[in-house]
């Protein structure tokens, strides 16, 4: 189930990460990843938080307060 969620996420809001990996140089990859992450987390029409980061927090030994909501 989690795999399907991540597949859908990276086909939608997280697509910048997949596209960044096709950049011609390592510097371009990193720049596109950073710019995409900033746009994703600060854009006017984006939900609060990041699915990937929140998922990592929920999978730790002690879930964070936001993961328990």
What are the tens digits of pLDDT across the range 18-63? Answer: 999 999 999 999 999 999 988 887 777 766 666 656 665 556 566 5
| Angle, vertex CA 13, rays to CA 4 and CA 19, nearest 5 | 95
Residue 4 has pLDDT above 60, yes or no: yes
pLDDT on residue 41? 76
Q: How far apart are CA 9 and CA 31, in angstroms?
A: 20
Could you tell me the sign of the dihedral formed by the alpha carbons of 33, 51, 47, 42, in that order? negative
- pTM of the predicted model, to two decimals? 0.59
């Amino acid at each position: 189930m989690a795999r399907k969620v991540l597949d859908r996420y990276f086909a939608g809001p997280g697509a910048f990460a997949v596209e960044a990996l096709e950049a011609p140089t390592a510097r371009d990859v990193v720049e596109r990843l950073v710019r995409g992450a900033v746009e994703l987390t600060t854009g006017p029409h984006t939900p609060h938080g990041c699915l990937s980061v929140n998922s990592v927090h929920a999978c730790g030994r002690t879930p964070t307060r936001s993961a328990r909501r």
